[in-house]
Structure 1
């Protein structure tokens, strides 16, 4: 499932115990940590509901309309509509197979793998779980009163970032007082903001099985995710052959060792082969070096990530991100894109940039 996670992202559903300082709130029955812990708990019985929501992103002018059906036995259907007629997508889980259809791409992806279901279509609650997990140690969380959202009483949680340069900025969540469902959220990341709000929500709904079915149009491309190749372990020489030219790497010295070299063939999905070299030192993860042949038109090349700064790497202009929980160095050299993710908190970006000066070319 590594390919699925790389292509579509992952969502983790877990019970999170946050180390928040306990506070006293005269006007609220619960403290912030109690609200969060309740929101993170699994319900005694899975929720079934029908919901309608609106999502807005600062990077896009248009808003997205969402309709969602979820049953107690895990089946679900999610429809999204954009401003243009062909901006229509449907994701359906009928209990056996998950199907994702995107009208604008004339493409559908299917899977019968249980892990893929979570990765492909995390529920809003799963996404809230993951967000709370990420900000638990980097934000101060408080309750800012109560509000009505979609006709339901909700606690308004405000999470303020403790530091300026964090991957996630200030966050706001409105949590249903009865069942701890997240009815509304505002998420800041750098200059980007995503607003999601349920305008209609009906709990304890019962659905006919035909709700969780989909009839795909004729002539579209159907891709079976389960048949995608997993990461293949290769040698350094084989890695260079797959990229089509010699590549840069960190030599094994000063206790630094290569733990694994993996190749992901993403030709069908992203039109590239990606090499990942994982390094350890004293049996502790040190860093990961990813590289691929730079496409002529690299998508997203002009997009700026939160906290991204310009930096010189091997005398070439690149970028760095030095944030709590995510540190990265990126540059392009001789037609190959290189990305370093630091895994050891005791190693600085400045050290890695210095190490990069002594990188060697593969044979």
Structure 2
């Protein structure tokens, strides 16, 4: 589970406009932009394949070996093995339920939520494609020839960060020339680096249904993810009590209405309680306000997210992120971390910042 969480960084960020530098040699048929666009198109048309890969992470000891079965109808099975034999994990989606079993923890987790399947168990291919979406505005991308990976011809893409201290550093990807599958990637994020390379890949595979099944040993603790992360509905006053101090919120004015106030107890995972307030206007999603008590041991992060710019909110230095389909504001005030997700495309940052000046306090 630890390794899966590390691989999920940025998976929920929306698609960026790809501003690429077309640079190709005489032997290259495509520009970097064409290679990436074709890779994105392939991501929308799932392949059926069996693959074996090796993964290295800078903060881990030893390699992680990965075996992967994926069918066109969305079913999959992924087995990972660490340096020690007991570091064995299996994730299976049989088309109805996703099951994640980690042998060393003697624990299994299940979910029937389709969105959870995508978030909890993206394929290495999906992760590489998400990376491509996020670096378009922050990197210069070129083709550095062709190479053989797992016996297949691949374009070698090199993405150089335009600025220092960005969340994503220099990146390299090797994209299959035939079907635009990412066969190898070297991905730097801050002080961490993940190297993934397929050593065996077989496309067009047909699998029996029993491939996408799993037997959980007796005595294993099975937890339902869908039940674990259900939000508890609370009032504004209860929200402040759960956080442990007064909190700011938008009053119901100018057509704004509070649709729901949810409390997520994340003390086990993140040592915090998070409050999420969803607003609508004319029965249409307007914005979401999330807040939690800032941890005392939190340290400033100098890494810049893609699309991030400084902004002042309520007289306090904060940040805003604007990308295609994703707009958000962040700031810390009186020991509380606030974030606002703008859901209505017609609402501007300037409007929300102005509304924030008049935020009220719930105690």
Report the CA distance shift for 1:14/1:138 in structure 2 as closer, same or farther (over 3 A). Answer: closer
Paired residues of 1:87 and 1:103 also in contact (CA < 8 A): yes
Of 148-157 and 220-229, the range deviating more from structure 2: 220-229
Paired residues of 2:90 and 2:101 also in contact (CA < 8 A): yes
Shift of 1:26: 2.1
Q: Show the counterpart of 2:198.
A: 198
Q: Which runs of 5+ in 1 are unaligned?
A: 309-318
Instruction: Confirm or deny that 1:30 pairs with 2:27.
Output: no
Q: Write the distance in 1 (CA, Å) between the matches of 2:257 and 2:30.
A: 49
Instruction: Confirm or deny that 1:183 pairs with 2:183.
Output: yes
Q: Show the counterpart of 1:262.
A: 261
1:126-205 pair list within 5 angstroms: 126-205=126-205
Shift of 1:265: 2.9
Shift of 1:260: 6.4
Q: Show the counterpart of 2:123.
A: 123
Q: Write the distance in 1 (CA, Å) between the matches of 2:184 and 2:165.
A: 25
Other structure's SS at 2:134 match: helix
Q: Normalised by the size of structure 2, how large is the TM-score?
A: 0.74
Shift of 1:41: 1.0
Q: RMSD over aligned Cα, in angstroms?
A: 4.3
Q: Which runs of 5+ in 2 are unaligned?
A: 306-316
Instruction: Confirm or deny that 1:207 pairs with 2:204.
Output: no
Q: Write the distance in 2 (CA, Å) between the matches of 1:251 and 1:180.
A: 46
Q: Write the distance in 2 (CA, Å) between the matches of 1:12 and 1:292.
A: 23
Q: Show the counterpart of 2:223.
A: 223
Paired residues of 1:47 and 1:204 also in contact (CA < 8 A): yes
Shift of 1:13: 11
Report the CA distance shift for 1:191/1:231 in structure 2 as closer, same or farther (over 3 A). Answer: same
Q: Show the counterpart of 2:291.
A: 290
Paired residues of 1:246 and 1:361 also in contact (CA < 8 A): no
Shift of 1:242: 2.8
Shift of 1:361: 5.9
Q: Write the distance in 2 (CA, Å) between the matches of 1:206 and 1:89.
A: 23
Paired residues of 2:267 and 2:273 also in contact (CA < 8 A): no
Q: Show the counterpart of 1:315.
A: none
Q: Write the distance in 2 (CA, Å) between the matches of 1:104 and 1:330.
A: 38
Q: Normalised by the size of structure 1, how large is the TM-score?
A: 0.74
Paired residues of 2:17 and 2:137 also in contact (CA < 8 A): no
Report the CA distance shift for 1:191/1:106 in structure 2 as closer, same or farther (over 3 A). Answer: same
Shift of 1:171: 1.2
Q: Show the counterpart of 1:112.
A: 112
Q: Show the counterpart of 1:311.
A: none
Q: Show the counterpart of 2:240.
A: 240
1:230-265 C-alpha deviation (Å, 9 max, x unpaired) = 44554321202333x323326769x9x896663233
Shift of 1:202: 1.8
Other structure's SS at 2:168 match: coil
1:22-69 C-alpha deviation (Å, 9 max, x unpaired) = 455422011111111111113797422221111111122332111111
Report the CA distance shift for 1:10/1:171 in structure 2 as closer, same or farther (over 3 A). Answer: closer
Equivalenced residue count is 337
Instruction: Confirm or deny that 1:306 pairs with 2:307.
Output: no
Other structure's SS at 1:36 match: helix
Shift of 1:114: 2.4
Paired residues of 2:24 and 2:32 also in contact (CA < 8 A): no
Q: Write the distance in 1 (CA, Å) between the matches of 2:97 and 2:158.
A: 38
Q: Write the distance in 1 (CA, Å) between the matches of 2:175 and 2:190.
A: 24
1:129-158 C-alpha deviation (Å, 9 max, x unpaired) = 211111122222110100111111110011
Q: Write the distance in 2 (CA, Å) between the matches of 1:38 and 1:13.
A: 20
Paired residues of 1:32 and 1:157 also in contact (CA < 8 A): yes
